[in-house]
Amino acid sequence: MNEEERLKGYVELWKQTIAVQQHFNDIGWRIRQLALTALTFALGAAAVAAKDRVTVSIFGVGLQLSSTLLAFGLILWLSFYFVDQVWYHCLLIGSVRHGEALEESIREFLPEAGLTGSISKASPYTLKIGRGKLSRVWLIAPRYRWMLMALIVVALFMAAASQIHVPAFS
Instruction: Place 162 in a pLDDT band, splitting at 50, 70 and 90.
Output: low
> What are the CA-CA distances from residue 68 to residues 36, 47, 58, 61, 155 (Å)?
19, 12, 10, 12, 8
Per-residue pLDDT tens digits for 45-103? 998 998 888 888 888 888 888 888 888 898 998 899 899 988 898 899 999 999 999 99
What's the gap between Cα 156 and its chain centre?
Answer: 24
Per-residue pLDDT tens digits for 25-39? 999 999 999 999 998
pTM confidence score:
0.72
What's the gap between Cα 97 and its chain centre?
Answer: 20
